[in-house]
Amino acid sequence: MDRIRIQGGRPLEGTIRIGGAKNAALPLMAAGLLTDERLTLTNVPALADIATMAALLRTLGVAVDPVGNDGRVLAIGGAITSSEAPYDIVRKMRASVLVLGPLVARTGEARVSLPGGCAIGTRPIDLHLKALEELGAEITLEAGYVTATARKGLRGANVIFPFVSVGATENLLMAATLAEGTTVIANAAREPEIGDLAACLTAMGARIEGVGTDRLTVHGVTSLHAATHPIIPDRIETGTYACAAAITGGSVLLEGAKLEHLGAVMRTLREAGVEVAEAAGGLSVKRLNGLHGADAMTEPYPGFPTDMQAQFMSLMSVAEGASMVTETIFENRFMHVPELSRMGANIVVHGASAIVRGVPALSGAPVMATDLRASVSLVLAGLAAKGETIVNRVYHLDRGYERVEEKLAACGAAIERIPG
């Protein structure tokens, strides 16, 4: 099993290209199930989760073909020959459940294994299922599989989510495009990835109103058609490398990054003493006069994203003063705390909040990654630590970060992958 070795203490200097957003690419790939014509996606990131979704689509009979030699363009489409998403693939990634809505909308039936992925919380799919039921789907759960049927097609409805869910919003949005009549989605998620999905669906012929708000209105159409769509840059990768620049005291240009996608991350980094500014081709990031403690509470967009919580905690572990980091989205997302503590961080967890008291320096140590974002938080800590850090179980990292060690090494980090 691969490991990453880091010799800390080197400021990052240079340019890091931000890839396409993983959390936008996965639902966009699932949207290819809504038409038998070709959906062409550009700026596709080269990640393990993308390969998993491609494998899942192929088991359903849909072609997923690279265009060109760099793998950043995918053409998706064709006849659906199976409506079952099997356990062996779905267990690897929770986002696999995003094929449920498109499958039942297109074929009238879907059988999807209950999903797997990182062990950061229960993340139930109840909202997905209840929303599809409101569109007329019949749902049954048996032997670890969800079966949804709508023999006469889906029909529009008013759906009010009891709390914000990105995945449920995406699943319902895709399903509603082919439902008869009008669907209103209230308390919808507003993440940039939702807007990107809506833009792609619109290019395919969908009729969607209210994009960017918490109330989406979808007027169903009989069919969708071919389109070409560029995937937005990854705001979580952007925030992660911004933290990398700040924790090392360096200065980097994040090529292709969009300031308007960062929301509360930008405001919180600035409060902590990190300058984030628009520059030619992207965003420039550098630490100003030391790091200062700042608080963060995870919330739905435009609040502070749960996917940035672990990275921000690493940053605060070497900031002057104390910080409070509160997690409101996933109940098990402090699993990186014991590993950071092994490196000398002073962190005390009280329920859903963690008090982080900054220390002058972290110390390199062997640490264990527990999930995707925890993995990269340990890499960030290693970049700032004195001595050598070995991050074990980095297969999590490969699910969401493309060539992380190469990007950091190109900016001066002493980092390398050790093949397992």
Q: How far apart are CA 89 and CA 161, in angstroms?
A: 28
Cβ(32)–Cβ(248) under 8 Å? no
Q: How far is the CA of 17 from the CAs of 116, 265, 277, 411, in angstroms?
A: 30, 19, 16, 11
Cβ(179)–Cβ(206) under 8 Å? no
Residues in the chain: 420
**DSSP calls for 31-72:** HGGG-SSPEEEES----HHHHHHHHHHHHTT-EEEE-SSSS-
Residues 6+ away with beta carbon under 8 Å from 404: 4, 376, 379, 397
Pairing outcome for strands 145-149 and 138-142: antiparallel
357: tokens are: 């008291």
SS3 225: coil
Q: How far apart are CA 195 and CA 173, in angstroms?
A: 11
Amino acid at site 114: L
Residues 6+ away with beta carbon under 8 Å from 260: none
Torsion of Cα atoms, 329 then 301 then 374 then 385, to 10°:
-130
Q: How far is the CA of 117 from the CAs of 48, 58, 133, in angstroms?
A: 12, 20, 25
Q: How far is the CA of 353 from the CAs of 31, 80, 176, in angstroms?
A: 37, 46, 38
Cβ(415)–Cβ(9) under 8 Å? no
46: tokens are: 């080269």
Q: Is 200 labeled as catalytic in the residue annotation?
A: no
H-state helical runs in 285-391: 309-316, 337-342, 372-384
Cβ(36)–Cβ(273) under 8 Å? no
Helix (H) or strand (E) holding 404: helix 404-409
Phi, psi of 3 (to 5 degrees): -130, 165
**DSSP for residue 114:** P
209: tokens are: 């109103």
Query: Which residue numbers are catalytic?
Result: 118
